[in-house]
Structure 1
């Protein structure tokens, strides 16, 4: 069950989560999000992504770890192709009837896509460590959702696929940068433009998975990683993630300076804690 948020706004209600095809359980510092549309192979819609954004903006302040998984034996088949029919999906805005019928400008469509991307961008927040637990297929948007997470733990039956170019589209849910950052531009081109399946072992070799385990061991492996992450000081973890995120864009000198600033902040905080404990 979702619990009330300690931050601004409120978490989505159970009814809102159900309409979006999502499940949410928040237990202390750990939030678990489940893609839950098994009748559609956990395919996602615009409402799925805007509700993910809603979750990200209203999580309780003490949440440190977010785990995303799919219900059953598949992570996600990607976008529900019903979104490209004139009637759309469950009353949602159709990509054809509501966007590509000439009634929307390019700026309107770009704004709409930006709103969908918010469902993926918050997973990079430095104060969170996000984990994708992947069983079976993670196709298109499902692959991009996994790429948005800090860590990917795969069952040995997992398969990634960037399907969008084969459908005449481009990956637009923030997945292109992490894919290139991890595998390099040439391998990313090959993966995207062939739309082939990347199995779990190859994903591990390419750096797209931190761990591959038998399918029945996936929940336990995720729990072990979560426990190890929670054992690390929360403020130090957030500061370290922030440093690592900026490292690729910094020169050595810039990164060294960033490390110094971050360490001064940590030493100051630790000194304050020690002084308070000694009173």
Structure 2
């Protein structure tokens, strides 16, 4: 495939040969995410060409992603959450689950903050490469919510229950070095982009079928659909408590 690019609202996709780069393009708000962006992420992942072998997830500017754009939770969105939040959560989860489900090797290139939905987007990848200034955190409990975009299952896989509970409950930041020591991050590099390029070149020499089968097997072993369903069910209760009729 020849080099090409596509611009969606707040997300840019560039394809160069067998590698696609998916960039969050809201640096002015630290790449805060909106429900529209989650729908776009799902569409982009589902339509990824088969001849693409590698996908890089990245954010423009100083931060990977600061998480949910709280301005999105206003007006009509609040009414939707009060009426029936299930479609909202299902659509949001689709924008993250797709990166675990597609056969391509997905690499998150992280710098600066990866908070909440930003952290969970990185966790949806197969490999995380981080700049030294990267910071990771789950801050949902400060909003009366829980992480519901696949992050809990991914963190329990990497950290175990107790570290995951403490990290999600307190909202404490995890540094790049800590994340590497704890098995969340594969590599910390001063030039994360160059490190990603080196990794892709290393993987490019391997059999594509073996890589895809390896991903499928490891994803099956690591966790199943139940973790996503549990996140959704608990978050529905949290949203009902926050936005239901009795809370107004």
- Give ranges in structure 1 of 5+ residues lacking alignment: 5-12, 87-92, 251-279
Match of 1:226 among 191, 196, 200: 200
Match of 1:67 among 41, 45, 56: 56
Match of 2:14 among 11, 22, 25: 25
The answer as to 2:76 corresponding to 1:122 is no
CA distance in 2, matches of 1:121, 1:25: 21
CA distance in 2, matches of 1:243, 1:159: 30
2:176 match? 200
2:219 match? 245
Query: Helix, strand or coil for the counterpart of 1:171?
Result: coil
CA distance in 2, matches of 1:146, 1:249: 16
Match of 2:121 among 129, 141, 145: 145
CA contact (8 A) 1:126 1:238 kept: no
User: Map of 1:80-229 to 2, 5 A cutoff?
Assistant: 80-86=69-75, 94=77, 96-100=78-82, 104-105=83-84, 109-125=85-101, 127-214=103-190, 217-229=191-203
Moved more, 21-30 or 139-148: 21-30
CA distance in 2, matches of 1:246, 1:171: 21
Report how many residues are paired: 223
CA contact (8 A) 2:27 2:62 kept: no
CA distance in 1, matches of 2:72, 2:223: 37
- Give ranges in structure 2 of 5+ residues lacking alignment: 225-248
CA distance in 1, matches of 2:165, 2:81: 28
What is the TM-score normalised by the length of structure 2?
A: 0.85
CA distance in 2, matches of 1:71, 1:165: 27
CA distance in 2, matches of 1:68, 1:246: 22
Query: Helix, strand or coil for the counterpart of 2:55?
Result: strand
2:242 match? none
What is the TM-score normalised by the length of structure 1?
A: 0.76
List structure 1 segments (4+ residues) > 6 angstroms apart after TM superposition.
none
Q: For residue 84 of structure 1, report the CA deviation from its aligned partner.
A: 2.0
Match of 1:57 among 21, 38, 46: 46
